[in-house]
Amino acid sequence: MATNDILALKVHGVYQKQNIVQTLHYKVTQQSCSDWVLLGRLCDAWNTAHTTDWLGNHNSDYLLAGIRADMAFSNNGTLPPGYLGLDAPGTVTDNPLPSYICGCVTCYVNSPNPRHRGRIMFSGRTEPEYTENGQMTLLAVSALEDLVAALWQDTLEGDDCQFQLGIFSKANQALHEIVKSQGAYTPALLRSRRVRQFNIG
């Protein structure tokens, strides 16, 4: 492994009998630990920094099953994945909505190519998050925006390594820096989770 290698962290949830996998890409910005523990360090660091807020934005029917880290791109060989089992339910107890109704936050990068952006979509929504006309409330959108902003604005720190979230481009095998994220008031209706190049959660 080496600084600037790119790792893929998958947040594995289960909601209404569906597997929901959110893929987030991180760049290694600092490393003094062994390569063999780096992927596990990413899982542990993400869990410490973000699991509480993640569960606080999902209803209690949602289960965060675990976190897995793999290599996305490296010139330095391959390593076994890191994994952290959690089995932790969401903490919002309001009435749940169907899994295909999602909140959506779009992440933007400083690039002339408008395709260089990522969407993070959240199942596990609840009835009070939506108005009578079907739009998300300001409070609900703000909560998701705060969660996503914390993901990319804060450097993720392990005991002896650091990671930075970005948008991965397969075309040039590079991670683009996120400069802005914005939530949508119109809910996303996701009938199929096989959506190309979307980060689904």
- What average pLDDT does this structure show over 134-150? 96
pLDDT for res 75: 66
DSSP the chain: --TT-EEEEEEEEEETTEEEEEEEEEEEEEE-S-HHHHHHHHHHHHHHHHHHHHHTTSBTT-EEEEEEEEEEE-SS---PPEEEEEEEE--B-SPBPPTTEEEEEEEEES-S-TT-EEEEEE---BGGGB-TTSPBPHHHHHHHHHHHHHHHHSPEE-SSEEEEEEEEETTTTEEEEEEEEEE-SSPEE-S-S--TT-EE-
The DSSP secondary-structure symbol of 110 reads S
* Cα 29 to Cα 36: distance, rounded to the nearest angstrom: 17
pLDDT for res 77: 67
- What average pLDDT does this structure show over 97-111? 90
Tokens of 112: 């002339």
Cβ contacts of 135 within 8 Å, gap of 6 or more: 185, 186, 187
State the residue for tokens 């209404």.
Answer: 16
pLDDT digits (tens, 9 = 90+) for 38-80: 999 999 999 999 999 999 999 999 999 999 999 887 766 677 8
pLDDT for res 112: 74
The whole-model pTM stands at 0.89
> Residue 129's closest CA among 188, 197, 43?
188
pLDDT for res 78: 72
Rg of the Cα atoms in the chain: 17
Question: What percentage of the chain has pLDDT greater than the value 90?
Answer: 63
- What average pLDDT does this structure show over 15-32? 92
For residue 147, what pLDDT band results from cuts at 50, 70 and 90? very high
Does the pLDDT at position 191 exceed 80?
A: no
Tokens of 165: 């979230």
Mean pLDDT computed over every residue of the chain: 88
